Amino acid sequence: MFRGIISGIMWTLLLVGMLSLTFNVQPVNAELSATVDIHPRALNLRSRGKWITCFIELPEGYDVADIDIATILLNDTIPVKPHPNAVGDHDEDGVSDLMVKFDRAEVTSLITDSINSIEERFTQITLRITGELEDGTPFEGSDTLKSIQPRIPNSARFWKFAETLETSATY
């Protein structure tokens, strides 16, 4: 006799006589594609705000209340703050979302470290949110926002330009 449930977990194989083998098959958790909405949409890197707010929606059939908040990371490095958080419908689309917060200073530092040019005042940056549901199912989503660098005084631009000349000069 050969019996099994493919979508279930249990398989039983009955061989010759009384021998019965039973084993569990654990399905691989496929990563869910989450919809992520990060605010503010334009992040002034000089601002002294306290938080970056993120709204996470999961695909149909999944509940944001099942997200393990302790597993949520921004760009694989910045952990979510445990409080405040709330389940609601921020964008009023009929789909529940989870609102979480990240420390603004940490996010600003991450962005500043990743921007190469001090000349570009406005930069598009994509931030990635990852985490897991309580059953271990991973999810991921990203959002693109604009970062605004502080204006650099002309004297600072001159000295930055002078440093470039100095390091590229041949003697």
Domain that holds residue 77: 33-152
Structural domains of the chain, count: 1
116 — pLDDT class (breaks 50, 70, 90): low
* Percentage of residues of the chain with pLDDT beyond 70: 67
Could you read off the pLDDT of 122-145 as tens digits, one per residue?
Answer: 889 999 999 999 999 999 999 999
pLDDT for 20 beyond 90: no
Q: Which of 88, 100, 95 has the alpha carbon at shortest distance from 60? A: 95
98 belongs to a structural domain: yes
CB atoms within 10 A of CB 48: 8
**CATH code, domain with 101:** 2.60.40
Asked whether the beta carbons of 69 and 100 are under 8 A apart, the reply is yes
162 belongs to a structural domain: no
Which residues in 60-90 are b (16+ Cβ under 10 Å) and which e? eebebeebeeebbebbeebebbeeebeeeeb
CB atoms within 10 A of CB 161: 11
Asked whether the beta carbons of 45 and 149 are under 8 A apart, the reply is yes
CB atoms within 10 A of CB 57: 20
Instruction: Tell me the pTM.
Output: 0.70
pLDDT for 9 beyond 70: no
Pairing of strands 51-57, 35-39: antiparallel
50 belongs to a structural domain: yes
106 belongs to a structural domain: yes
Q: Which of 127, 55, 62 has the alpha carbon at shortest distance from 86? A: 55
84 belongs to a structural domain: yes
Q: What's at 152, amino acid-wise?
A: I
Q: Which residue has the higher pLDDT, 99 or 159?
A: 99
pLDDT for 97 beyond 80: yes
86 belongs to a structural domain: yes
pLDDT for 28 beyond 60: no
Residue whose structure tokens are 């999944």: 62
40 belongs to a structural domain: yes
User: Lowest-confidence range among 37-41, 67-71, 155-159, 160-164?
Assistant: 155-159
* Percentage of residues of the chain with pLDDT beyond 90: 52
Could you read off the pLDDT of 35-71 as tens digits, one per residue?
Answer: 999 999 998 888 888 999 999 999 999 999 999 999 9
146 belongs to a structural domain: yes
